[in-house]
Chains A and B, each alone.
Chain A
């Protein structure tokens, strides 16, 4: 039997918090890591948040030292704008095909001065900012995104749609913009794979009674995060769509819970965080938190809840709830224990369920692993380990495996690394 070539590189898919943790840990044990990230930036979802519960630590301050470490780490080959197309082979010897889209901006030459944005004639809604502000066809998703190098959105760029335009290139003093870059097909040989592709939020439009997408000032969680963010579309100013300062708000938990069939474990906590967000900017604001069961597990979270309660917020249990426009305001009608009541507020924030990304089943197929009934990557045997899949050598970590908080995502990433390192040790 011929000797199988054994490689020691590891492929990590997803450069969110779990992916970053796994990559840094692998690198410190001298493994080479190929970190494949679909977007142009690292940090995943967490960098959308201004603060994280329960100590209200600045989210970007928390993450950016790790992002910096990642960018400067010689063992980590960061491949942004890349996706995994094909995986063949088995533990110790996977052959992976990566499709690396061209950024059209040179990562070495670009110094992140942003001079190329202004002259670009194309403006469109910024997805990172949840459509609340605009970006150009050449852009970085937000101030402070790392790597601090823009990309060209070829779908909307004039030049890539046949028009003559070199506005960005002319503005660049470092010859960093290269329209001749091409998409690449990379082939990597790796020992193991960690899929840490994160999550998205349930689309509240699917439940019309919340009025999302119909009523102004009904926001989904990510939108509200960006409104509050100091590097967001309003630089942190909380204003209604008509420009006025809101005096009251309703935060509705468990949006989509019945549809998804599970509790997303972090929403009660981040909803309480939203309470802090609102009170810190507008101390006189009246806030109603609508919840079904309060889920605040963990040794430090109840204290957080008590502190939030002290700010004067009303905690209202509900079984059924409806959101309607009523004149200038928004009326939230709810039932609790058979009784029907209503509150009128200026704005509504919805806390939707965590769900797998739309392309996660495609990735599962490519990796040769299965997904569970909810679409999350499936662990082989939850009583044995929640990071190993039915395919030896392919591990899962973070919210791609199931809804969880940052702490648990990071632990899973370390655990996946632990599995890889201890398996190799026995060879």
Chain B
């Protein structure tokens, strides 16, 4: 079919018409044979304008459309719709920005007109090489895999499960509940931790839309958003359980820094030096006592253990250290508690009150550094430098260490399994620190709870609920997923299998065909970022709608 390009120049009121000699532009761009018509119009984005364009396309039998108007950010989609309504493929159109990039920034009318002519000619040249691109639709599986049966995983499972969506909850230990099950109480309301957990576990087990696998791990996770293939293996068994899901929630929790790595705290060498989790367990058992069975009189709580080594503040330790002071006071009314801390980190509207109400006659706060725990007779001694840098010491019976929160030991394997990355500290990396903290660069895989970074229980619950929001709004049963249209493509004949593209793809889109020794793009996952196209030394990788020829033609004219 003969190519017929229609060029329409928007006056945009005085914005363009006063700064650019539109008639001159019309004359200059009318020359090529395949430019069937060049017209000007007052305001193309108005209802009348859009109708005008539709009529023109049909009347003139146009095959391609060039609009010279404002920024694509403003109206690219508008005119794409016009094309669709008029019956031409919406990608056979190009928008030349002669407003923001020309009229609004060039004072001299002659210069502006010359530039506008170049911009419009460039758009015409480019559009000649456009290909019609079709939207794709793929069916999606609405079920969800939740890995990790702690408070985050339980919450996500309960929120997600419904009559048209199954949830598969895989827990590597033999029971659900995770870390929170160890806490007698949680801050700041000092409610029993078990309350939170027991009810959720009951609800999960009751719910017929949630299938629970305990003592199990996910062996394999293949596929992409809307269509993941999962293999789960139980510890005792050899066989896999296989099923498909549309999305995956990683709620695998966190671990603690091992204070044995910082011998100055005496952990593992001195008696009665406990980590936070050991103390929680001891407290939950009902009795706080020293190794020799006696009740401690002076307890030191050391904050920020491992902070320098890990390089970040774990956010919740000051708060739970305060909680420990309360535990101690509840069980041993006349105990003396000494907090050794550097900065009191208590952000949030309820946290300071908790601190103010914890302070008391026998609860002391010592700002300190250079802490060393040494043996003193049957007890221990905390050696420290005070605020002014002077050396000081304090005798104590028991020391509780509040260690940094770290990623779990299997987080690297999990990251590799799920095809997501880890940040510098080893936690799972979110897609965008601020706007997308629970999504990852692999679409359909979400990270929630302390697996994403240290946080308290309310924030963990929020993230689990947020993942629910994301999943429920994007994986709708019966609805098709429309992947990106402008994706990369690798030519089999030109690809030399150097895998540069794979190294720079952040989305795991490209795979290597061992037989043909070439790289292949998964067009469903591809986000069209173009990194691979830039990295390909031989030009085998191209980006649909941004091919070299299209861009080159445009630049040739514009420059």
Q: Mark B67-97, 1 if CB is under 8 A from A, else 0.
A: 0001001000100000000000000000000
A418 & B159 in contact (Cβ 8 Å cutoff): yes
A407 & B348 in contact (Cβ 8 Å cutoff): no
B423 & A418 in contact (Cβ 8 Å cutoff): no
Of the 9-residue stretches B210-218, B237-245, B276-284, B468-476, which lies at the interface with chain A? B468-476
Q: How far is the CB of A317 from chain B (nearest CB, A)?
A: 8
B423 & A295 in contact (Cβ 8 Å cutoff): no
Q: What is the size, in residues, of chain A's interface with B at 8 Å between Cβ atoms?
A: 71
A382 & B189 in contact (Cβ 8 Å cutoff): yes
A414 & B470 in contact (Cβ 8 Å cutoff): yes
Interface positions, chain A 321-376, Cβ under 8 Å from B, are: 337, 372, 374, 376
Q: How far is the CA of A337 from the CA of B348 in the complex (A)?
A: 26
B contact residues around A419 at 8 Å (CB): 159, 465, 468-469
A62 & B438 in contact (Cβ 8 Å cutoff): no
A299 & B427 in contact (Cβ 8 Å cutoff): yes
A295 & B469 in contact (Cβ 8 Å cutoff): no
**Is B232's beta carbon under 8 Å from chain A?**
no
**Chain B residue with minimal CB distance to A291?**
B343
A386 & B351 in contact (Cβ 8 Å cutoff): no
B162 & A425 in contact (Cβ 8 Å cutoff): yes
B467 & A418 in contact (Cβ 8 Å cutoff): yes
Of the 9-residue stretches A108-116, A127-135, A229-237, which lies at the interface with chain B? A108-116
Q: How far is the CB of B439 from chain A (nearest CB, A)?
A: 10
B349 & A418 in contact (Cβ 8 Å cutoff): no
**Is B434's beta carbon under 8 Å from chain A?**
yes
**Is B12's beta carbon under 8 Å from chain A?**
yes
Q: How far is the CB of A307 from chain B (nearest CB, A)?
A: 12
**Is A242's beta carbon under 8 Å from chain B?**
no
B159 & A297 in contact (Cβ 8 Å cutoff): no
**Is A72's beta carbon under 8 Å from chain B?**
yes
**Is A161's beta carbon under 8 Å from chain B?**
no
Q: Mark A22-62, 1 if CB is under 8 A from B, else 0.
A: 00011011100000000000000000000010110100001
B347 & A414 in contact (Cβ 8 Å cutoff): no
Q: Which of B188, B353, B462, B467 has the most CB of A within 10 A?
A: B462
A68 & B73 in contact (Cβ 8 Å cutoff): yes
**Is A166's beta carbon under 8 Å from chain B?**
no
**Is B398's beta carbon under 8 Å from chain A?**
no
**Is B191's beta carbon under 8 Å from chain A?**
yes
**Chain B residue with minimal CB distance to A257?**
B352
Q: Mark A292-326, 1 if CB is under 8 A from B, else 0.
A: 01111111111100100000000000000000000
**Is B166's beta carbon under 8 Å from chain A?**
no
**Chain A residue with minimal CB distance to B315?**
A297
**Is A410's beta carbon under 8 Å from chain B?**
yes
Q: How far is the CB of A77 from chain B (nearest CB, A)?
A: 18
**Chain B residue with minimal CB distance to A306?**
B311
Q: How far is the CB of B509 from chain A (nearest CB, A)?
A: 21
From known contacts A25-B469, A385-B465, A415-B468, infer whether A57 and B434 are also in contact, taking CB-CB under 8 Å. Answer: yes
Partner of B347, one of A403, A411, A418: A403
**Chain A residue with minimal CB distance to B159?**
A422
**Chain B residue with minimal CB distance to A261?**
B352
**Chain B residue with minimal CB distance to A296?**
B313
B contact residues around A17 at 8 Å (CB): 435
Partner of B438, one of A52, A113, A296, A411: A411
B contact residues around A295 at 8 Å (CB): 343, 345-347
A contact residues around B433 at 8 Å (CB): 54-55, 300, 407
Q: How far is the CB of B254 from chain A (nearest CB, A)?
A: 11
Of the 9-residue stretches A78-86, A89-97, A262-270, A282-290, which lies at the interface with chain B? A262-270
Partner of A297, one of B15, B311, B313: B313
**Is B453's beta carbon under 8 Å from chain A?**
yes
B343 & A299 in contact (Cβ 8 Å cutoff): no
Q: How far is the CA of A386 from the CA of B438 in the complex (A)?
A: 17
B313 & A302 in contact (Cβ 8 Å cutoff): yes
Instruction: Provide 18 A-B residue pairs closer than 8 Å at the C-beta atoms, listed in order of the A residue.
Output: A17-B435, A28-B474, A54-B433, A113-B13, A263-B346, A265-B348, A299-B453, A302-B307, A374-B349, A383-B186, A402-B348, A405-B434, A408-B462, A411-B462, A414-B467, A415-B462, A418-B467, A422-B162
Residues of B within 8 A of A (CB): 12-15, 43, 45-47, 70, 73, 77, 159-160, 162-165, 186, 188-189, 191, 195-196, 307, 311-315, 343-353, 356, 387-388, 423-425, 427, 433-438, 453-454, 457-459, 461-470, 472-474, 476, 479
Q: Top 8 A-B pairs ranked by shortest CB distance?
A: A265-B347, A418-B469, A418-B468, A415-B465, A414-B466, A297-B315, A29-B473, A417-B469
New A-B pairs, 18, CB < 8 Å, besides A30-B479, A382-B350:
A25-B470, A26-B473, A111-B43, A263-B351, A266-B347, A293-B344, A297-B314, A299-B427, A299-B454, A303-B311, A387-B462, A407-B433, A408-B459, A411-B437, A411-B459, A411-B462, A422-B162, A425-B472
